[in-house]
Structure 1
């Protein structure tokens, strides 16, 4: 993944949609994870290393949190937990 700058083309949207029940769920799922990754980088800058989980896939500094989140979803690094 490092060095790639393909955005939504990589991973393919069809692959991502196979991992969720709807495109709306994918949007919510990816955006929540992207926010966690963004918070991780903010905490890292402030010296708080253990408040959030960082990227679970190889990534570079240039990769946006949403791109990282989509790659994590595509590589089955995350699981959706539905509220009960």
Structure 2
């Protein structure tokens, strides 16, 4: 949790990224068009929230907090 300053920031950032990952997977199935980046970690889980938390944990994405 060194990358984020609070649990709330972690929850908001991971939920936002999970929504992006979910839309990316839907675009692969032809359900929705989107411009989001594919998951940046190799993980066996197919759950978007797990993937998002893993990306944050491995510092593959940058979290910018609005002040």
Q: TM-score, normalised by structure 1?
A: 0.69
Per-residue deviation, 1:49: 7.4
Deviation at residue 54 of structure 1 after TM alignment: 1.1
Deviation at 1:19, TM superposition (A): 1.5
Does 2:37 correspond to 1:40?
no
Aligned alpha-carbon RMSD (Å): 2.0
Give the number of aligned pairs: 67
**After TM superposition, where is structure 1 displaced by more than 6 Å over at least 4 residues in a row?**
47-50
Q: Which runs of 5+ in 2 are unaligned?
A: none
The answer (yes or no) to whether the contact 1:43–1:51 under 8 Å persists in 2 is no
TM-score (norm 2): 0.84
Contact 2:21 2:39 in 1 (8 A): yes
**1:81 positional shift:** 2.1
